[in-house]
Amino acid sequence: MRNLTLHPKLLNINMQAKKSFGQHFLKHESIAQRIAESLQQATRTGQVLEVGPGMGILTRQLLAHPEYRTWAVEADADMVRYLQANYPELAPNLIFKDFLEFHPESVFGDSEFSLIGNFPYNISTQILFKMLDFRAQIPEMVGMFQKEVADRVVSKPGSKVYGITSVLLQAFYKTEYLFTVERGSFNPPPKVLSAVIRLTRKDNFELGCDERMFRTLVKTAFNNRRKMLRNTLKPFFPAEILMTDPFFEKRPEVLGWEEYVALVKKMGNNA
């Protein structure tokens, strides 16, 4: 956690969004409130981590809930100074760091926390994969993403946007599309629509196969999503099985996560 010198003149200045941080500041309190109220397990976890609070419109809604403790991680030094000045109650829990370099155990130990944010669009998919890595501590996530990314997360097999992100997240979380946010709700307006989604971790869930191999197989299959599995999965299965089993005539975008688990198990049986 890095310290910054607080400048009183930053109390009421109009902070400018920076493209390098993928910033688009939400303008409407009603939308921020709706995002904050979409958390369902924050009272149980007792802790909430906001990623990329910016000027604090969502932070303000979170701090209105004394029943849990709000933390925030912000990579932009200017925004950190602004938040320190305007939200002194948050200052002790404000972490000056890039979320992708943040180690949750340094703050939360092994305890759980809810994850929330108007996520920076330039690293939003990376944030989702990091959440997967720390899913033992993150039972829920509510976040704003580019609509394209949100659609990908919740899409079902057979959809044109269904892919690696869909399979990996849906294996471990229940995914819900909550609502769409128009471009004019931000300053500056993004070029794309935005959407808020909620992910809820599956209780007492076991994947049922080696997770590393599961991820590898999914990524390999989608590297050539238009090709049949018999062509993309040659490194994993004997040629005889690939050519004789009609299952391998399918394309990766039509398989649910359960079928990828079954494929990993089939690999073990044919090792």
Domains and CATH numbers, the chain: 8-201 (3.40.50.150), 211-269 (1.10.8.100)
b/e 84-94 (16+ beta carbons within 10 angstroms → b): bbbbeebeebb
Of 182, 201, 226, nearest to 115 by C-alpha is 201
Task: Report the distance separating Cα 239 and Cα 55, nearest Å.
Answer: 57
pLDDT of residue 23: 55
Structure tokens at 220: 């390999």
| Ramachandran angles phi, psi of 80, nearest 5° | -60, -45
- The residues that bridge with 142 in the sheet, in sequence order, are 116, 198
pLDDT of residue 25: 77
Element (H, E) at 222: helix 211-222
Task: Report the distance separating Cα 157 and Cα 254, nearest Å.
Answer: 5
Residue-by-residue pLDDT tens, the chain, 271 positions = 333 334 444 444 445 655 544 556 798 999 999 999 999 999 999 999 999 999 999 999 999 999 999 999 999 998 999 999 999 999 999 999 999 999 999 999 999 999 999 998 889 999 999 999 999 999 999 999 999 999 999 999 999 999 999 999 999 999 999 999 999 999 778 889 999 999 999 999 999 999 999 999 999 999 998 999 999 999 999 999 999 999 999 999 999 999 999 999 998 765 5
pLDDT of residue 15: 59
> What sections of 29-187 are H helices per DSSP?
29-36, 42-45, 57-63, 77-86, 105-108, 124-133, 147-154, 164-172
Place of tokens 């939400």: 26
**Amino acid in position 89:** E
